[in-house]
Structure 1
Amino acid sequence: MTSFSVDYNRVVADTRDRMILLNVVRSAYREPTYYTAFTQIEGSLSMSGSVGADAANLIGPGPASVTPTVSGSFANAPTFAIIPLNSDEFSKGMLAPIGPDTIRLFLSQGWRPKMLAPLVVQKVECLYQDQVIGEVRNEPGGYTPGVTAASFEKIVFYTGPLAKGDVYTATVPGKDAMKLLAGGALDKFDITETASPIDPTLTTVTMTAKADQNLDARLPQEFASTCRTFLTKPNRETSSFKGLVESTAEAVSVSGLITAGGDRRPDAPRNELSMNIVFRSTDGIVYYLGERLRATMEGKIPDTDTDGDVLFRVGRDVPGAAAVAIDHRGSRWSIYASDIGDREAGSGAIVDRSLQVIALLNQLISAQTSTKEFSRAPATVRVR
């Protein structure tokens, strides 16, 4: 029973991974994507056995003998149902932009920011006096002039409270309490300190957010430089930039306030050039990976980042062991089955994060879509 249950778990996991990889490859061919799911798996385990004996010389000369025989058999006949995930609720969840709170959650769980930023950032809007004057696109093989794939790797996210009233607590040594409050937190939180009744050397700091706060991000200098170029475009509407008549683009200051996934902040000066990050949807990440796969195979972008790590690599008709593999258009597409500690062991192998990307998409699909169709019943095994 234990083996059967684990085997069903592997089947569900392999099915999900292959479905995601297949949709990425479809996207590379600019084909539509399709999703399915198990709604229920039932394993019917039948056991049977028999005991018998062969007897010889029970009547007659010679010694009598009895030879016992024991036999048994097991039969597993699973039944399952697969449904297409094409409901209105599922589609809206797949197409909805990923929220800053979701990205914050992944960051808090230790996901690598250098891996998340290229995946989730669709573009960076450039705003002057609250008007969008241009955008920096994250499109493999077609980046906005002035930026590269490495530019998006440099985006640094800052995490903070999600909404007004959210409470965060931490118990630290008394001498470290003020360190916890550093970094501008004093004007964003209502803070109380309470000495621990058990250990007087410890202090419990309670922080309550005063207002809703967006996810912050730091963008590399290439973004500010590119945004400035939009101000000098001949086809801009000069009436929209009255404050820029007697100044040059280089003289315009760039706001340090970066809004991620929301509207321009009310406290951002209107006479400054500001930037707004627009996040992809889960379906958008799948299509981004497809575009990246095609651009990599056409030699337009490298398949490794500036650390030498692979973000997402798919082999085409490559021999050898594969962690995930599918067949499409007469070719075998596979993700390399890397071993634990490849690079750390000194083998010289790169760190391939392709399976981490598949894991991220698995979690995003579950988090972004709450359709009842997607809620599968747990696998069960019936013994009779």
Structure 2
Amino acid sequence: MKHWIAAAAAMATTLTGCASMRTPMTEFATDYNRVIADTSNEMILLNIVRASRGEPTHYSALSSVSGNLAIEGTAGADLSGIIDDIDGGAEIGVSVRSAPSFQIIPLNTADFATGILRPVEPNVVALFLSQGWNENLLAALLVESVSCGGITYYNDLRGDEDRNPDRLYLDPDQTFGLGFETTDGGNTNEPIISMGADQATSLGMVLENLTDDYRVTVRRDDEGKAIFDVFQRSQQTLNITLSGSSRLTGCAVTALSPDDYELRSVEGVIYYLGEILRSGGGEMRTPGGDIVFRVPNSAPAGGHAIHVSHEGQSFFVEPANPGQRPRNRSSQVISLITQLIALQTASDALERSPSTLTIN
């Protein structure tokens, strides 16, 4: 009888433990995800604030998080007595404590610096466009300058006293009228070579000897045998469109090729937003009234999505509200910069970064 009671108690502990751990583990994993996201967002905002004061920027990242769960069991009956004294209806519970450890890595490698200082790649812009990002928002933030008819216009919406008087600048209507379009290079859709299944072993050798960018598709012929078709990948060009209010004086074209515009680097976008924060009213708005970027010093009445403190002063970014009019895209801009950093910098920058701080 004693053995049956002991087995039942052990089983109850096991089952209760499994049921109790599922929710804590899920919550811990979700909390870690939020911490990583908040850390990244706050780092971006902090660097924009630094840039607004002419201070150098610094970047770091949480490279890994290890969640150590400590499990403690409790029972409603005193288990130190004789086994027969165990109350079969006693409540047996499990409490779980988290003791995480994580690594903070300074992003100070040559690869990271090169990536963040290099102008944003046109294919990166094309990727954002394919994901549905607003092209006018992207252009307003990423375009450094445009040239037409031998005249260069700079994209800078700071107060006039902060700009170079020897340069020509786009006005707000022209800035937010800029857009992007991609054009196909006109490559044929016919395969340049087709190989049967019996030639599959030679496919790798063929591709190694091709000097351009290619893609391979697989189809089946009438007999059901595999056919490998090798196509030349279509080359695309990213142009900047000048439509409506964005038309430039003396410029007859409606689109500018890559030779006629310059894109900012990620660091350039951060410093530009820092200058916007420093000058004028400290915000960037479209002619229609939408807020592109605004960082108040007091907590917004509706709460905040991001908050940092620097040199005794607080800075807030309001949460996105899709139904709000006019829109506030400040948190969306932070998200854009986070993704740009990930796409522009080398994937092995974290692995090769020399200085690692581990906190337990």
TM range (shorter): 0.5 to 0.7
- Describe the SS at the equivalent of 1:215: strand
Which among 159, 167, 171 is matched to residue 182 of structure 2?
159
In the TM superposition, residue 73 of structure 1 has moved relative to its aligned partner by: 2.8
- 1:121 corresponds in structure 2 to 143
Report the CA distance shift for 1:359/1:167 in structure 2 as closer, same or farther (over 3 A): farther
Aligned to 1:88: 110
Query: Equivalent of 1:16, from 22, 28, 40?
Result: 40
| Per-residue deviation, residues 252-305 of structure 1 (Å, max 9, x unmatched) | x74555213xx3xxxxxxxxxxxx11000111111111111112436xxx6321
SS at match of 1:53: coil
1:351–1:209 CA distance, 2 compared to 1 (3 A): farther
**1:309 CA displacement:** 0.9
Change in 2 beyond 3 A, CA 1:369/1:65: closer
The one-letter code sitting in structure 2 at the alignment partner of 1:32 is P
Matched residues in 2 for 1:324 and 1:365: separation? Answer: 18
Summarize deviations over 1:21-63 as a string: whole Å, max 9, x none: 11111111111111101121100001121436359xx9xxxxx
Structure 2 length-normalised TM: 0.68
Aligned to 2:298: 317
Summarize deviations over 1:232-258 as a string: whole Å, max 9, x none: xxxxxxxxxxxxxxxxxxxxx745552
Structure 2: distance between partners of 1:373 and 1:100:
22
Kindly state the Cα deviation for residue 216 of structure 1 after the two structures are TM-superposed.
2.0
Counterpart residue number, 2:355:
none
- Structure 1 residues 114 and 51: CA distance shift in structure 2, 3 A: same
Q: Deviations over 1:102-128 (max 9, x none)?
A: 212211221111211110100113454
Distance 1:319 1:108, change over 3 A: closer
Q: What letter corresponds to residue 313 of structure 1 in structure 2?
A: R
SS at match of 2:269: helix
For the 8 Å contact 1:136–1:223, the answer to whether it is kept is no
**How has the CA–CA distance of structure 1 residues 306 and 54 changed in structure 2, closer, same or farther, with 3 Å as cutoff?**
same
Counterpart pick for 2:173 among 144, 150, 153: 150
Q: Structure 1 unaligned segments of length 5 or more: list them.
A: 59-63, 129-133, 169-207, 229-252, 264-275, 344-349, 377-384
User: Residue 30 of structure 1 aligns with which residue?
Assistant: 54
The whole-number CA distance in structure 1 between the counterparts of 2:236 and 2:78 is 83
With over 3 angstroms needed to count, the CA separation of the structure-2 counterparts of 1:152 and 1:78, relative to structure 1, is same
CA deviations 1:183-231 (Å, max 9, x no partner) are xxxxxxxxxxxxxxxxxxxxxxxxx889744212222577632xx5xxx
Corresponding residue for 2:271?
A: 287
After superposition, the Cα gap between the structure-2 partners of 1:54 and 1:211, relative to the gap in structure 1 and judged at 3 Å, is closer
1:336–1:210 distance in 2 versus 1, CA, 3 Å: closer
1:167-206 equivalences in 2 (<5 Å):
none
Map 1:26-105 to 2 at 5 A.
26-51=50-75, 53=77, 68=90, 70=92, 72-105=94-127
Alignment of 1:306 onto 2:293: no
Q: Segments of 4+ in structure 1 off by > 6 A?
A: 64-67, 208-211
The percentage of counterpart residues that share the same residue type is 35
Using the alignment, how far apart are the partners of 2:288 and 2:108 within structure 1? 39
3-state SS of 1:214 partner: strand
Between 151-160 and 3-12, the greater mean CA deviation after superposition = 151-160
C-alpha separation in 2, matches of 1:210 and 1:2: 43
Give the Cα separation in 1 of the matches to 2:94 and 2:268. Answer: 53
Kindly indicate whether the alpha-carbon contact (under 8 Å) linking 2:182 and 2:236 is maintained by their aligned counterparts in 1: no
Q: 1:34 to 1:136 in 2, by over 3 A?
A: same
Give the equivalent residue in structure 2 for 1:259: 257
Distance 1:313 1:209, change over 3 A: farther
Pairwise CA distance, 1:167: 6.2
Preserved CA contact (<8 Å) 2:77 2:86 = no
The answer for unaligned runs of 5 or more in structure 2 is 1-24, 191-230, 353-360
| 1:365 alignment counterpart | 341
| Contact 2:242 2:255 (C-alpha < 8 Å) held by counterparts | no
1:136 and 2:136 equivalent? no
Contact 1:317 1:331 in 2 (8 A): no
- Give the Cα–Cα distance (whole angstroms) in 2 for the partners of residues 53 and 211 of structure 1: 73
Q: 1:319 to 1:313 in 2, by over 3 A?
A: closer
Q: CA deviation at 1:145?
A: 4.3
**Cα distance change of structure 1 residues 88 and 71 upon mapping to structure 2, 3 Å threshold:** same
Deviation at 1:155, TM superposition (A): 1.0
RMSD across aligned positions (CA): 3.2
Give the counterpart letter for 2:311 in structure 1.
R
Q: Secondary structure at the match of 2:46?
A: helix
- Residues of 2 paired with 1:318 and 1:41: CA distance? 30
Residue type matched to 1:294 in 2? R
Higher relative contact order (CA 8 A, sep 6+): 1
Aligned-residue offset at 1:327: 0.2
2:6 corresponding residue in structure 1: none
Q: 1:215 aligns with which of 232, 238, 245?
A: 238
| Residues 1:14 and 1:257: Cα distance change in structure 2 (over 3 Å) | closer
- TM-score, normalization: structure 1? 0.64
Q: Match for residue 382 of structure 1?
A: none
Structure 2 SS opposite 1:322: coil
Q: How many residues align?
A: 275
